[in-house]
A and B are shown apart, each in its own frame.
Chain A
Amino acid sequence: MTTTEQPPADARSHAPDPRDFLALDSLLTDEERMIRDNVRRFVREQLLPQVPEWFEAGVLPREVASQLGALGVLGMHLKGYGCAGASAVAYGLACLELEAGDSGLRSLVSVQGSLAMFAIWRWGSEEQKQEWLPPLARGEAVGCFGLTEPDAGSDPGSMRTRARRDGSDWILSGQKMWITNGSTADVAVVWARADDGIRGFLVPRGTPGFTTQDIHRKLSLRASVTSELLLDDVRLPAEAMLPEARGLRGPLSCLSEARYGIVWGAMGAARSCYEAALEYSTTREQFGRPIGGFQLTQKKLADMVVEVGRGTLLAHHLGRLKDEGRLTPEQVSFGKLANVDAALRVARSARTVLGANGVTLEYPVIRHENNLESVLTYEGTAEVHSLVLGQALTGISAYR
């Protein structure tokens, strides 16, 4: 053992750390830091080396879900049924580190934990929870969440998928579109219109009449499976319905959970772009000096570090509100709107700093930039979140 006393403070130890300019680490508990460091190391060592290949090939191997399950991040913010019951801030930190790897990784965790598992945890019966939550938490089972349809995106209330009764059974028919994890899922949470309003159903893979088809030729979120779900008179027992959810409130509650993760995740993508640009700007030389020495580049870096710091601080604040049970859906909309927009600006600016190298998969930037286009659209488009804020401010709904 050497010493317990601190050395005299000098100017150097007080210079802000470019990787944590606002010293936001000091807002974290030791446990949160340990969780964050663990996910960060896992992403960097186990996933990131392969992410560019997955992105290029347009795949995300099934084992990733099991690995993330062993790490404990699937449904980590839920309590009981094999879930860790971590704080909202810890969950957010995990989302940030995952998305610093790739938005596809964070999407897997969001869809599994916040959409599929949360739907069952919040609205399911005790039997449904016992059956599905432990294997979903371990990553032995994969879940998906089917709300969007070809003709019902921003306006899910116009969905056409129907659930009708046949004796005590349910018969589902319709089509879901743009469903993350659709073809890899062992269980699909499908929202459909019943006589008494919108209802959620658990549809296991292989149920007769239920098929999936992957959507190819995406140029965004390529390291993520996106599918169409086809429901052709799918017969389900009465127990397949989520008993506690009726109306759009059911799916919207899940989306609010997932959006919360995006508030953090977007800052992970932004941080990765900013760090790539910073590193590049100090090593790449033109006109006889590092390009980071040019005022125009410095302005870009300064804007990036401001966006990343401000967005992460916002995520933090919303996380603490959530842990106190005070976070409203409108505040989540605020966070999603602000942080995805900020992340896209950082990504675009970072791309320019990297010049031609910026358009390749050798660097993470264009991958993040393209991914963020999906993040901007899913979980409520930027326009829809603007309308949420507009209505919260004026009291006037401008949706239709």
Chain B
Amino acid sequence: MKICVLVKEVPDAAVEKRMDPSTKRLDRSGEKNLNPFDTHAIEAAMQIKEGGAVDVDEIVAVTMGPESAVRALHKAVSLGADRSVHLTDPALAGSDVCATGYALAQVLKAESPDLVLLGQQSDDGECYTVGAVVADHLQMPSLTQVIKIDVQDGKLRCERQAEYGYDTVEVELPAVISVGDAINEPRYPSLKAIMGAKKKPLDTKSAADVGIDPSRVGEQGSRTAVLAINPPPAKEPGEIIEDEDTDETVQKIVSWLEERKLLA
């Protein structure tokens, strides 16, 4: 079995996020890191490999991003991936979700994995959608918000976070699975793994290398356009219920919660 894990480089969680008014995009300067959700996807791949229910030949980390995204790949291999693929091309800059998903699917077609794992969301774009787009291009079943994966008779039995509780879903391979952060506790890479990361194979691919149609990517190839960016509306002031410690106060709080359907 071959597993590909899609990983993204995102601004570090400690960096205050800011929109750049001139490009209407996120300002991605400053400290960057591997998308934390993707560390759970790599850990999930490692647990399948170490679990022994199926032979995993290799785990390949795949990213699309600028030159700096190599660091996200180094981190991914230090966490256990065997090698990595970096799709990078000026033509890809400004791709929206559909274009990003299409471009990544082109890389995956060349790799033909049995399983594609993703984080459920990126820490910057937070679209929660790349998995579904990739699955559509690859014509593979897609599951999102997965919090448990078991390999059984060459199929996957997954638990999927639902609004109340979870769904248990069985999928045939090949499949595209995005995992939630509740799925596992990612390991700390060992020092030796960090120092060995640069020695693991890294393939750099251009858009042409994986047969990407230039008219379907980049700012021009994206079908969404950001017209304006506005700060979120200021939070409305909270309602303070003066506590006289009477039944009436309790009733007020209960009805407030009921109105908002917060009581199950």
| Chain A residues near B (Cβ < 8 Å) | 1-8, 13, 25, 30-31, 34-35, 38, 41-42, 70-73, 76, 84-86, 90
Contact = CB atoms under 8 A, between A and B. Distances in A.
B181 to A, nearest CB: 14
Given A1-B64, A4-B66, A4-B90, 15 more contacts: A2-B125, A4-B67, A5-B93, A7-B20, A7-B23, A13-B30, A30-B71, A30-B74, A31-B195, A35-B195, A38-B191, A38-B194, A72-B191, A84-B191, A86-B191
Contacts of B26: 2
Interface of B: 20, 22-23, 25-31, 64-67, 71, 74-75, 78, 90, 92-95, 100, 103, 125, 188-195, 197-198
Nearest to A69: B190
Nearest to B23: A3
Residue among A6, A7, A8 with max Cβ neighbours from chain B (10 Å): A7
Given A1-B100, A4-B90, A4-B93, A34 B190 contact: no
A1 B93 contact: yes
15 contacts: A1-B66, A1-B95, A2-B28, A2-B93, A2-B95, A3-B93, A7-B20, A7-B29, A31-B194, A31-B195, A31-B197, A71-B190, A72-B191, A76-B191, A90-B191
| A-B pairs, 5 with minimum CB distance | A72-B191, A4-B66, A72-B190, A7-B20, A84-B191
A70 B78 contact: no
A41 B188 contact: yes
Contacts, number: 79
B25 A3 contact: yes
A90 B194 CA distance: 11
Contacts of B193: 72
Contacts of A90: 191
A218 to B, nearest CB: 30
Given A1-B64, A3-B93, A34-B75, A71 B188 contact: yes
Residue among B67, B189, B198 with max Cβ neighbours from chain A (10 Å): B189
Contacts of A7: 20, 22-23, 27, 29
A8 B23 CA distance: 11
B29 A13 contact: yes
